[in-house]
Amino acid sequence: MQLDMAEVERVCSDLYIRALKILPPDIKDGFKRLVGAETGETAKAVLGVMVENVAVAERTNNILCQDTGIPIYNITIGRNVSFDGAELKAAIRRGCERSTKENSLRSSVVHPITRQNDQTSCGVRVPIVHVDFDEREETVGIEMIPKGSGSENGSFLKMLLPSDGVSAAKRFVIDRVIELGGRVCPPTIVGVGLGGTSDMCMHLAKIAATRPLGTVCSDPEGAKIEAELSKAVNELGVGPQGLGGRSTSFAVHVEIAATHITQNPVAVNIQCHSARRALATITPGGIAFS
């Protein structure tokens, strides 16, 4: 399959606005679970407003949250796909710009030093593009994540020592959730990275934070910690919007990578309740959005 760059541009544009408008089904189900388990009156009212907001966005064809985020595109290239890599990057960027213009999106992206906003949702090295490869025949997956800033500001890395053990990593996660309170728009998905190098660890936390609800860490030890922490955070009483209650998080997700004998890194990246993602799959048969 030869990747058609005009098509990639269009898909990247569509994905941005779709992600901003339609909450993925796993998050909607997550809300149902939290509403069912919540006991606090204020917390129930806050969750009710969030659920209503999802319905209003669909009914009024509006975006869910005003924060259009930092655009991230995760590209997965299958087998027997040919393309020009530089052209692919340019097409993604054009798609992101086009969506911003055509949909009158607020550009939330600025130069880090001058704070100049080009009003395109693009800037130096943004949109963020990750490319990976998999085994699927003639298939390209494009996932778009508009990463909200309130929750992105809830990001932390600590290079713990091996002697600190895994208990220090767990404590680090719990203490960050406490410290963040309502600032990250709970209920959240708490993404935790364990291992790797510093940059890999942070990246793992982002993968974890943006993984669909209901999926489990592929490493059994990671999965165990994930289950433990998922239960523990909802005992803290932070609650939706930090106003108290059980519903602090939909889940804690953990991703791991091997690390150095001298290292024990832990990273935290938070996804807010507006846990937006959109996926397109391109095959010779056409484009499917999900």
Partner 1 sequence: MAHHVLDMPIDAAKVRELQIGDTVTLRKTLFGIRDATLIHMFDRGRETRLDLDGHAVIHTAPNVRRVDRSEEAPVGYAPFCIGTTTSQRMERFTRQLMEREGVRLIIGKGGMGADTSAAFKDLGGAYLAIVGGAAALETTWIERIEDVDMDDLHPESLWKFRIRDLGPLLVGMDSHGGSLFETVRDDVASRRDAVLASIGAGE
Question: Nearest CA to 275 among 244, 253, 246?
Answer: 253
Shortest distance, position 200 Cβ to partner 1, whole Å: 23
Residue 71 or 148: which CB sits closer to ligand SF4?
A: 148
Residue 50 or 205: which CB sits closer to partner 1?
A: 50
**Residue 124, phi then psi, degrees to nearest 5:** -60, 120
Structure tokens at 174: 């719990």
Residue 8 or 17: which CB sits closer to ligand SF4?
A: 17
* DSSP-derived 3-state class of residue 85: helix
Residue 100 or 274: which CB sits closer to ligand SF4?
A: 274
Beta-carbon contacts of 114 under 8 Å, excluding residues fewer than 6 positions away, are none
Shortest distance, position 240 Cβ to partner 1, whole Å: 8
User: In the complex, which residues of this chain contact ligand SF4 (CB under 6 A)?
Assistant: 65, 67, 148-151, 184-185, 272-274
Cβ atoms 17, 96 nearer than 8 A: no
Residue 100 or 281: which CB sits closer to ligand SF4?
A: 100
DSSP 148-161: -HHHHTSEEEEEE-
Residue 80 or 153: which CB sits closer to partner 1?
A: 153
User: In the complex, which residues of this chain contact partner 1 (CB under 8 A)?
Assistant: 42, 46, 49-50, 52-54, 56-57, 60, 62-68, 104-108, 115, 148-150, 153, 167-168, 170-171, 174-175, 178, 181-183, 185, 228-229, 232, 235-244, 272-274
62 binds, among partner 1, ligand SF4, none (CB under 5 to 8 A by kind): partner 1
Beta-carbon contacts of 151 under 8 Å, excluding residues fewer than 6 positions away, are 184, 185, 188, 209, 270, 271, 272
94: enclosing H helix or E strand: helix 85-102
Residue 13 or 139: which CB sits closer to partner 1?
A: 13
Shortest distance, position 104 Cβ to partner 1, whole Å: 5
238 binds, among ligand SF4, partner 1, none (CB under 5 to 8 A by kind): partner 1
Sheet holding 249-257, edge to edge: 155-160, 264-271, 188-195, 249-257
Shortest distance, position 150 Cβ to ligand SF4, whole Å: 3
Dihedral Cα 203, 242, 249, 190, nearest 10 deg: 10
Residue 206 or 273: which CB sits closer to ligand SF4?
A: 273
* DSSP-derived 3-state class of residue 12: helix
232 binds, among partner 1, ligand SF4, none (CB under 5 to 8 A by kind): partner 1
Shortest distance, position 184 Cβ to ligand SF4, whole Å: 6
Shortest distance, position 186 Cβ to ligand SF4, whole Å: 9
Cβ atoms 243, 182 nearer than 8 A: yes
Shortest distance, position 242 Cβ to ligand SF4, whole Å: 11
71 binds, among partner 1, ligand SF4, none (CB under 5 to 8 A by kind): none
Shortest distance, position 153 Cβ to partner 1, whole Å: 7
CA 273 from centroid of its chain's CA atoms: 10
Question: Nearest CA to 225 among 167, 175, 159?
Answer: 167
User: Helix H segments across 38-114?
Assistant: 41-59, 85-102
